[in-house]
């Protein structure tokens, strides 16, 4: 009989929704979160809350949904210390579902395997689909890791997503997510530029996007982010600052592969500028405001140059 016990470390915007879907699919979910509010929401849905990550160590699969790998390593320190003294059950799977560096997660995976004598293995399984996909259970999940470890985690992954695929060894999922973010980040920036250009030229961005959606420029990014770009709704569904982090993974992977990424390089600088403008905690669509601010800055500079 399938063991449907799972731990979740990180119950924020994405993790809490993913854990809720696991509960609805019949999983017994035990969660940990740094702030009490999100933990209370999971408890209200029927989950169990523990005070420390190491208290998840007896479970067959543990999901980490924290901002980046350094946060995961910090949170998992007590867990690994426990496993050093008291090894986990054989075939334990640690699921890294955050967007992390493909190379760094490989290092982390080797460390976990060596420390536990192979009893625990890391699978990287980052997601795409945002909070809507997390709420609806329709995430796209791209995984990397040993085939046997992935198969053990696969039933839980299907409780959270509709597209679940193993793409290769550990790190492959994170590389796929980096490619995903390259497309999402640059497409959002291009749409933001188009909206600004249209509005400043006397066109209605909403009408423009409606036309674009019926042609080759139509995309899921346009469907989901387009309305927020039009209405300038920057309430966060996920902080925009994480796109800069994700694009840095693209650049790292490109250097390792010996390939050029001129579009990713330009986008990484644009999202770095977004952070410099203090907009990083707002929604990804706020890149339109970044571009608007740059346009205003350029106009002011031009006026200064033209002044007698």
pLDDT in tens, 97-111: 999 999 999 999 999
Mean pLDDT of all residues belonging to the chain? 95
Determine the distance from the C-alpha atom of residue 102 to the mean position of all C-alpha atoms in its chain, rounded to a whole number. Answer: 13
Rounded CA separation 183/47 (Å): 36
Rounded CA separation 46/64 (Å): 20
CATH code: domain of residue 138: 3.40.50.720
Residue 45 has pLDDT above 60, yes or no: yes
Rounded CA separation 198/214 (Å): 17
Determine the distance from the C-alpha atom of residue 287 to the mean position of all C-alpha atoms in its chain, rounded to a whole number. Answer: 17
Residues 67 and 242 sit within 8 Å (Cβ to Cβ): yes
Shared domain check, 188 and 152 = no
CATH code: domain of residue 283: 1.10.1040.10
Secondary structure of residue 83 in the 3-state scheme: helix
Give the pLDDT confidence score for residue 293 in this predicted structure.
98
Secondary structure of residue 168 in the 3-state scheme: strand
User: Which residues face 140 on adjacent strands?
Assistant: 128, 163
Residues 6+ apart with CB under 8 A from 276: none
Residue 307 has pLDDT above 60, yes or no: no
Shared domain check, 125 and 11 = yes
Query: What are the tens digits of pLDDT across the range 172-212?
Result: 999 999 999 999 999 999 999 999 999 999 999 999 999 99
Rounded CA separation 27/131 (Å): 20
Per this entry, what is the length of the chain? 308
Cβ burial of 17 (10 Å; 0-12, 13-18, 19+) is: buried
Residue 51 has pLDDT above 70, yes or no: yes
Give the pLDDT confidence score for residue 262 in this predicted structure.
98
Rounded CA separation 247/284 (Å): 13
Q: Is 177 one of the catalytic residues?
A: yes
Number of domains, the chain: 2
Give the pLDDT confidence score for residue 94 in this predicted structure.
98
Shared domain check, 232 and 122 = no
Last residue of some domain: 117, 144, 169?
Answer: 169
User: By residue range, what is the domain housing residue 63?
Assistant: 5-169
Shared domain check, 264 and 209 = yes
Confidence tier at 306 by pLDDT (50, 70, 90) = low
Shared domain check, 198 and 148 = no
Last residue of some domain: 113, 136, 169?
Answer: 169
Q: Is the pTM of this model over 0.85?
A: yes
Residue 159 has pLDDT above 90, yes or no: yes
Confidence tier at 81 by pLDDT (50, 70, 90) = very high
Catalytic residue among 132, 177, 241, 245: 177
Secondary structure of residue 3 in the 3-state scheme: coil
Distances from the Cα of 28 to the Cα of 3, 5, 146, 190, angstroms? 9, 5, 25, 43
Confidence tier at 1 by pLDDT (50, 70, 90) = low
Mean pLDDT of 231-249: 95
In 3D, which of 120, 68, 132, 121 has the Cα closest to residue 99? 68
Give the pLDDT confidence score for residue 308 in this predicted structure.
55
Residues 6+ apart with CB under 8 A from 143: 123, 124, 125, 150, 153, 157, 164, 165, 166, 167, 172, 173
Shared domain check, 179 and 162 = no
Shared domain check, 69 and 127 = yes
Cβ burial of 260 (10 Å; 0-12, 13-18, 19+) is: exposed
Mean pLDDT of 280-291: 98
Strands 48-49, 5-9: parallel, antiparallel or unpaired by DSSP? unpaired
Residues 6+ apart with CB under 8 A from 163: 139, 140, 141
């Amino acid at each position: 009989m399938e063991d449907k016990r799972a731990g979740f470390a990180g119950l924020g915007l994405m993790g809490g929704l993913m854990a809720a879907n696991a509960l609805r699919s019949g999983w017994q979910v035990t969660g940990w979160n740094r702030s009490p509010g999100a933990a209370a929401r999971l408890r209200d849905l029927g989950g169990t809350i523990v005070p420390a990550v190491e208290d998840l160590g007896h479970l067959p699969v543990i999901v980490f949904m924290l901002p980046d790998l350094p946060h995961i390593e910090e949170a998992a320190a007590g867990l690994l210390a426990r496993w050093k003294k008291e090894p986990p059950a054989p075939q334990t799977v640690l699921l890294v579902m955050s967007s992390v560096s493909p190379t760094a997660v490989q290092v982390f995976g080797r460390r976990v395997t060596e420390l536990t004598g192979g009893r625990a293995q890391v699978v990287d399984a980052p997601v795409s689909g945002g909070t809507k996909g997390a709420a609806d259970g329709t995430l796209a999940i791209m995984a990397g890791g040993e085939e046997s470890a992935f198969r053990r985690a696969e039933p839980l992954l299907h409780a959270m997503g509709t597209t679940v695929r193993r793409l290769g060894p550990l790190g492959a999922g994170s590389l796929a997510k980096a490619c995903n973010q390259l497309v999402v980040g640059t497409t959002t920036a291009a749409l933001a530029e188009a909206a600004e250009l249209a509005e400043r030229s006397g066109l209605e961005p909403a009408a423009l996007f409606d036309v674009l959606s019926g042609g080759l420029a139509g995309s899921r990014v346009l469907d989901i982010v387009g309305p927020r770009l039009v209405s300038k709704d920057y309430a966060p569904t996920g902080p925009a600052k994480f796109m800069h982090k994700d694009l840095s993974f693209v650049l790292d992977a490109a250097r390792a592969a010996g390939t050029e990424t001129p579009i990713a390089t330009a986008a990484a600088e644009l999202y770095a500028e977004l952070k410099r403008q203090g907009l990083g905690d707002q929604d990804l669509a706020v890149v339109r405001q970044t571009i608007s601010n740059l346009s205003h800055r350029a106009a002011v500079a031009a006026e200064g140059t033209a002044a007698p």
